Structure 1
C-alpha cells in the first residue's frame, strides 16, 4: 500500500513549522505545532515531530512538545505510549523544571489512552 502525501494545507503547515524551528521562532513554532495537532491526520508524523522537539535545546520547544503529546493522546486516543513515556521521563531527569508539566502529560496518557 502506497502512503498518500499530506494534503497541501498540512504540507504547508509542516514546512512552516520547520522554518520556524530553524529560525529560532519558538513562539511561532509553538502555535504551528498546536495547529498541526488539531488538524493533522498523520499521528505518527506528529509523534515523531514531538520526539524530535523533546531533544531540541530550546526549552520552549520542549514544553510545546510535552503539551502536544497530551493533546495527541486526547484527540487521537492512541500513540506509541512506551516510546513517548520513555522520552518524557528522560527529559524530566535532564530538566527537572519540566517535571510537573511532564507529569501532567503522563496523567493525560492515563486518562485518554486505553
Structure 2
C-alpha cells in the first residue's frame, strides 16, 4: 500500500513510525488496520491509538479511520480508549480528521453498537 512494502511486517511498520517519513506515515494506520490478522489486532489498535494524535492531519485522520476498519473486521475495540479519541477527532480543527472520524464513528456504531458521538 503506497510506499510501504506490499508484504510489510510489524517491524516494517514500527520502522516507518520511527522514521516518520511524511510520504509513508499516512499509509501506516490504513495498512495496519486493513492488513492485520487476529493475532496482530491488538497491536494494530495500539498503532492507531499512537498515531491518532500525530501532528500530520492525514496520519491522525487515517489512524481514527483505522478504528472503523478494525471494528468492521474484528467486531471489537477497547471502548474506554477508543471512544474518547474518536470524540476528540470529531471536533478536530482539521476537516480531514473530522471527515475520517465521521466514517469511523459510523462503522463503530454499525459494527459495535456504541456511539462515539
Q: Decide: shared fold, TM above 0.5.
A: yes
In 1, the alpha carbon distance for the partners of 2:103 and 2:29 equals 19
In 1, the alpha carbon distance for the partners of 2:23 and 2:72 equals 23
Whether 2:111 is the aligned partner of 1:112: answer yes
Q: CA deviation at 1:32?
A: 4.3
1:101 alignment counterpart: 100
Shift in alpha-carbon separation, 1:27–1:13, aligned structure 2, 3 A: farther
Q: Which has the higher helix share?
A: 1
In 1, the alpha carbon distance for the partners of 2:88 and 2:28 equals 25
**TM-score, normalised by the number of residues in structure 1:** 0.74
Shift in alpha-carbon separation, 1:32–1:62, aligned structure 2, 3 A: closer
SS of 2:108's equivalent in the other structure is: helix
In 2, the alpha carbon distance for the partners of 1:27 and 1:56 equals 14
In 2, the alpha carbon distance for the partners of 1:91 and 1:39 equals 23
Larger Rg: 1
2:16 alignment counterpart: 20
1:51-96 Cα shifts (integer Å, max 9, x gaps): 1101111212112212211110000011112321101212333434
Give the CA RMSD over aligned residues: 2.1
Q: Which runs of 5+ in 2 are unaligned?
A: 1-7
SS of 1:78's equivalent in the other structure is: coil
Q: Which runs of 5+ in 1 are unaligned?
A: 1-11
